[in-house]
Amino acid sequence: MYGRIFSGIQPTGIPHLGNYVGAVKPWITLQHCNDVKPIYCVVDLHSITTPQEIKLRTNVLKTTACLLAAGIDPKKSILFQQSAVPFHSELSWILLCNTHLNKLQGLHAWKQKMVEGARSVPMGILTYPVLMSADILLYKTNSVPVGEDQEQHIEFTREVAYTMNKKYNCDFFVPPTSIVLGQKRIRSLRDPSSKMSKSDSDALSWISIIDEPDVIARKVKKAVTDAEPNITYDPENRLGLANLLDIHSALIDSDPESVSKEYLNLGKGQYKQLLTDILIENLRPIREETNRYLADESYLISILTRGAREAYVIAEKSMSEIRKLIGYSLN
């Protein structure tokens, strides 16, 4: 249906609700509706572009445990650690040597750092889109699941593919297409003008997918809404309430307009209690399974090792062909 699917998640430890709704939940759906095994990657090479407050190894295992607990099936998907397949870095260097500096400086992540006035920015912030392109092109990926803020990276990858095919007179590099996930971006519970983020200094602004019920209840109760009556979906004028409806609808596979109509006459206190119950019900099995997986580190490592072997076979074949195209293969 989608051909080869590739997607990655940074190992920041335990994902928050926005990560789950925006990436992990769609991954689970895609692994059940595609003829070719999706490739899901814990992108530890990408993660070191920012300081790691906790050991990276620990974060990789926590992220893996959560993915499995949420429903990623290693028999239906290839799940592996990016750095375990060295061809990602090799292809990234090749692509970087064929990418102009001004193109990278025009991408959002770098421009944002410049707007912020940062004086010392790691080079990885500038070049990581090339590594992302290598991740995708290495597996001749046809489709990449993306959120609303990732489309630019896919367009950049398409341009890289066109450039490489033209330069080496080939059609090896497959320009990928986007699978638009359709989920709304989940926003901060305390400042809905910003997206949900674990780096937020206000711990009440985000929900971990392994939060205990009492913690979930406290965070939802403190979520910013407004003084207007009734439950209506109006992202322009009622962003806080719209955020809660986005969360609700994503968890039950509905749409926020339908949810708002169903609960139109509830007070906001009643609605927050309803949403709390839904969150607790949906996240409880994930929390319990995550804790079970984290108690068996050797199993998590075995899953990543098996996935890396599968990914290695595909990637090695690609790199063998790429080396011949570039001209530094002597065989």
* Sheet of strand 39-42, all strands in order from the earlier edge strand to the far edge: 6-9, 39-42, 78-81
Between vectors from CA 137 to CA 131 and to CA 142, what angle results, nearest 5°?
130
Q: What are the angstrom distances between the C-alpha of 40 and each of 151, 273, 295?
A: 18, 35, 23
Contact (Cβ atoms closer than 8 angstroms) between residue 317 and residue 139:
no
Q: Are 275 and 17 in contact (CB under 8 A)?
A: no
Q: Quick check: 9 and 19 in contact, CB under 8 A?
A: yes
**What three-state secondary structure class fits 310?**
helix
Distances, alpha carbon 189 to alpha carbons 177, 184, 216, in Å: 32, 14, 11
Active site members: 113, 195, 198
Return all residues near 210 (Cβ < 8 A) that are at least 6 apart.
14, 66, 283, 286, 287, 290, 291
- In one-letter notation, the amino acid at residue 260 is S
250 to 49, 93, 282, 299: CA distances (angstroms): 30, 39, 11, 30
Whether 82 and 48 have beta carbons less than 8 Å apart is answered as: no
